[in-house]
Amino acid sequence: MHLLRAEWKKHCTFREVWIGYLLGFAFLSLSLYMEKDSSSLKWFGVQQNIYTYGATLTAFLIVIGLSRIFCYERERNTSCLLRTAKNGLMGTYAAKIILTVQYCAVVIAVIGILSIVVNGYRFGFADASGKMTQGVYFEEAPMSNLTYCIVQYIFLFLGALYFAGFVLVVATIAKRSAWVIVLCGGCYIAFLGYYYVGRYRIQGNWLGRICDFLFHYGFSGFMLQESYSRLSAAGSMPRGDWEQIWKPILFVIVAIMIEFAAVWLLWKRKERR
């Protein structure tokens, strides 16, 4: 536990983190304010919060908040000290991974709670326990409107861990937080550009198929929820099949575990040099 507390203390000393928090809060406040005119959509509108701003804000906070986690010791020239303690590398690695999971959970919880509470206050929670009959990514799900919105944020949490794992892998290779921010932020923006604009221009050719594969099996598709519906769809259905939702969930969990294992192997190898 003391290693975890030490990692959180280091995290709180990063100036870019606090700047990111301020910018993220401003962006979230502006997004919630601009949604006041779409309150007539009620719970169907809340479902689209991840699509409109939730995923992008989460990605921004992950890049800003986690870019230095595995770069700190290298940048401070203290990496050699980790090997002076028994199980120093493994203990520090475990603390950093736990911090990553906790950080993603806190980010998702804050965004999700504020989105649901603010929008629910506008149009009321009267239909919160009503059956979900209209979904963005699934035709029908056996749960209430409020439960479905919460489940969506759980899906976003898995996608956030997928992206966080990618950030940590890049950090163990690049070893400089500035490069991590540029590379990881650039990758997410590139996939976001493909999703909103590029896929309509290169759809059907070989480049479009490659980009489509990378998007739906990569972190961006899971953060924007598209991969959950695409990988669970039956045949040519435009939306996902809830009974097949276990497939994308299993895929993203396995992908996260592979990323975390890769981080350990890369970080251990780098530290031994």
Dump pLDDT digits (tens) for 142-163.
788 788 888 888 999 999 999 9
Task: Please give the pLDDT value at position 273.
Answer: 47
**Between vectors from CA 257 to CA 255 and to CA 135, what angle results, nearest 5°?**
50
Task: Please give the pLDDT value at position 108.
Answer: 93
Q: Write the single-letter amino acid at 129.
A: S
Low pLDDT (below 50) residues in the chain:
271-273
Task: Please give the pLDDT value at position 32.
Answer: 81
Task: Please give the pLDDT value at position 11.
Answer: 81
Which one, of 201, 231, 239, 233, lies nearest residue 215 by Cα? 231
Task: Please give the pLDDT value at position 84.
Answer: 61
Q: Considering the entire predicted model, what is its pTM?
A: 0.89
Listed by start position, the domains of the chain span 2-272
Q: Compute the distance between CA of residue 76 and CA of residue 60 in angstroms, rounded to an integer.
A: 24
Cα dihedral sign, 166-172-174-180: positive
Q: Are 69 and 99 in contact (CB under 8 A)?
A: yes
